[in-house]
Amino acid sequence: MSTTLSDLLLNDRGFAFDPSNGETFQLSTSGLRIVRLLQQGTPPDAVLGQLVEEFEVDQNTASRDLAEFLRSIEQLGWIQPAA
C-alpha cells in the first residue's frame, strides 16, 4: 500500500511521516513547500512559478530541481507518474 500526498503527515520543520509504512523523511524547505502546494492541488506549472518567486531562483534551476523532486516522490508512491 502506498501513501498519497493527502495521507502524508507533515510538520513545519519538514518532517514527513508516511503512515502506510511508518517511514519518516526530512524535507528541505523547498521540498516541504512543493509537497504542501501539491497537497492543495496546485498544478506543477504553478508550483514552478511559486518556487521561482519565493526562493528567488532562476526558472531553469527551479524547473530542473522540481522535475528531480517530482521523480523522487513518484518513486516513493506519493504521486502518480506524469502522463
Domain ranges for the chain = 5-75
This prediction's pTM: 0.90
pLDDT at site 83: 57
What sign results for the dihedral spanned by CA atoms 16, 29, 46, 61? negative
Alpha-carbon gap, residue 5 to 38, rounded angstroms: 8
Instruction: Report pLDDT digits (tens) over 44-72.
Output: 999 999 999 999 999 999 999 999 999 99
State residue 3's pLDDT score.
67
